[in-house]
Amino acid sequence: MFGRNSPKQRVGKPVRAKILNGNAAALDLLKRTRVGYGLAQELVGGIITIRVTEYVGPQWQIAKTGGSGVTARSGTTSGSGTVRIWNSDDGTLTDSDEDLDVRNLATTAVANNKYIKICRNRSGDWYVFWEEC
C-alpha cells in the first residue's frame, strides 16, 4: 500500500489503513488518535480513513468592514458581520472583490468602512483580530 510505487497523495483522496486481526488495543489507540492541521480522520467499519483537506492551519487577512460594520459580542454570543478582503501589493491595498463572514469577540462593535485584521481558527471560522483606531 505504501511502497515505492505508490502514487503521491492528493487533496481529498483518502489514505486507508485496515485494522488487522481484530486487535482491540490497536483499535482503541487509533480511536484516540487525532490528526493535525490539514487532515481529517474517520473510522467506519474497522477502517481508518485519513483525508487531506484544503484548509491548513490558522491564517490572517487584511479586510475592510462594509456599511454595517461588525456587531459586538453579547454575553457568550459572538458578534458578526460581512467584510471585504483586501490585498497588499507592495504596500498598496487593493480590493479583492471577495466577501467573508466574520465573528467578533469584543464587547464593542467595529465601525463601518474600517480596515481590520482577521484571523482564521482551526475550524475555519474568521474572527476580527484588531481594527484601526
| pLDDT score for 56 | 56
pLDDT in tens, the chain (133 residues): 344 444 455 555 555 555 445 566 666 666 666 666 667 777 777 677 777 776 555 588 999 999 999 999 999 999 999 999 999 888 899 999 999 999 999 999 999 999 999 998 877 889 999 887 6
Q: What is the pTM of this model?
A: 0.58
Q: Which three cell numbers stand for residue 100?
A: 467573508
Say if residues 100 and 118 touch (Cβ distance below 8 Å). Answer: yes
Q: Report the candidate in 115, 111, 104 with the shortest Cα–Cα distance to residue 80.
A: 104
**CATH 2.40.50 matches 59-131:** yes
| pLDDT score for 6 | 43
Domain boundaries, the chain: 14-52, 59-131
Q: Report the candidate in 74, 65, 62 with the shortest Cα–Cα distance to residue 106.
A: 74
